[in-house]
Every structure is written in C-alpha cells, then in structure tokens.
Amino acid sequence: MVKKTHSSMLAASAATAAMLAFSGPAAAQQTDLFGKQPRVDVTVPGVVSQAQLAHQLHSQGYNNIKLSSQYPTPADPNPENHSRSDPETTPIHQGWNGTAFKDGRRLRVYVQYGSGPSVAEVPAK
C-alpha cells in the first residue's frame, strides 16, 4: 500500500482544485443505501480534499455541506453528522461523500473520477 504524505496530498489537491469546475445537469439515476434520492454528482480529474469540494459546492449555491470519509451503513446511515476528519487534509473518495442543501432540498453528494470536471444535480425518480 502506498502512503501519501500530507504535503504531497496538499500539492496534488491544490493542482486539482484549479481544474475543478461545474457544468450543467446530466441525466442519471443512482440507487443508494436508502433507495432513490436526489443527489449531486461531482466528477473530478484527481485528488481533491473535502474542503476543496465543499468550497466548490458552496460557490454553486449549496450550503450546510457535511462530508465524511466513511460510507453510510444500515447501522450508521448518516456518518457525515459526526465526522471528525480534518477537511483540509482528508481526500474525497469515489462514491458517496456526504450531503448538501440547495433551495431547501437535501441532496446526497456523489463523486466519481473522470476526465472532465463537472457537477450535475440529479432528481430522485
């Protein structure tokens, strides 16, 4: 297992943050642990910290952003409500990363790694 150092992760995160951008909606639907729920899909080209993701979501009108390095489970469906990780140094991971609110609606935040940075809001169906 390769262990990244704090400074190398921050350097990679800073470079990726410069590339992180948002675009319009895309059609998709994902079933998570608790069924189909509205979500925001974020595509990033590489390592980004939770703080960088939260900043980008906030700049797009999302608020009350809660992120977690833990995935939800039936025993702990909302790990973002008691996350103790340092958002400046904790990288995001592929899949579910937490929740955010926009226009009074709670959305689950999903991340995927890809070639083009984007954010797309997907309603529940």
What are the boundaries of each domain within the chain? 6-122
Q: How far apart are CA 22 and CA 37, in angstroms?
A: 21
**Which residue matches tokens 């340092």?**
86
Of 11-25, 50-64, 96-110, the poorest mean pLDDT is in 11-25
For residue 25, pLDDT beyond 90: no
The dihedral built from the CA positions of residue 35, 41, 44 and 49, taken in this order, carries a sign that is negative
The residue that leads in pLDDT, 76 or 35, is 76
Q: What are 50-88's pLDDT values in tens digits?
A: 999 999 899 999 999 999 999 999 999 999 999 899 999
**pTM, full prediction:** 0.71
Q: How far apart are CA 8 and CA 11, in angstroms?
A: 5
Per-residue pLDDT, averaged over 34-62, amounts to: 89
